[in-house]
Amino acid sequence: MKQKNKLHDKFAIQGNLDPKVLTLTEKEITKETEMILDTMVDYPGFIFNLGHGITPNIHPDKIQVMIDTIRNP
């Protein structure tokens, strides 16, 4: 991820999880969330977020899986 390295220590970056991921299984949500966290682990100022926010079809339990993964890597 070369762009990340160019911005290191200069800017905060928001990482986007595709909201469609929240329609998948808990295991897949965890995997996709961890992939972003692992990529940005050494980046100061990284902000985790959803690419387009939470859509109405997303069950709250799926959001909790994502939040738990972020809070307890």
pTM of the model: 0.82
From residue 10, give the alpha-carbon distance in Å to each of 6, 13, 68.
Answer: 8, 10, 29
- Domain containing residue 56: 2-71
- The count of structural domains within the chain is 1
Angle (deg, nearest 10), helices 60-71 and 26-39: 40
Residues 15-32 have pLDDT tens digits of 789 999 999 999 999 999
Q: Do the beta carbons of residue 42 and residue 51 sit within 8 Å? A: no
Q: Looking at residue 68, what is its pLDDT?
A: 97
So what's the pLDDT on residue 6?
Answer: 65
Q: What is the pLDDT of residue 7?
A: 62
Residue type for position 23 = T
Please state, rounded to an integer, the average pLDDT across all residues of the chain. Answer: 87
Any idea which of 12-16, 32-36, 40-44 has the lowest mean pLDDT?
12-16
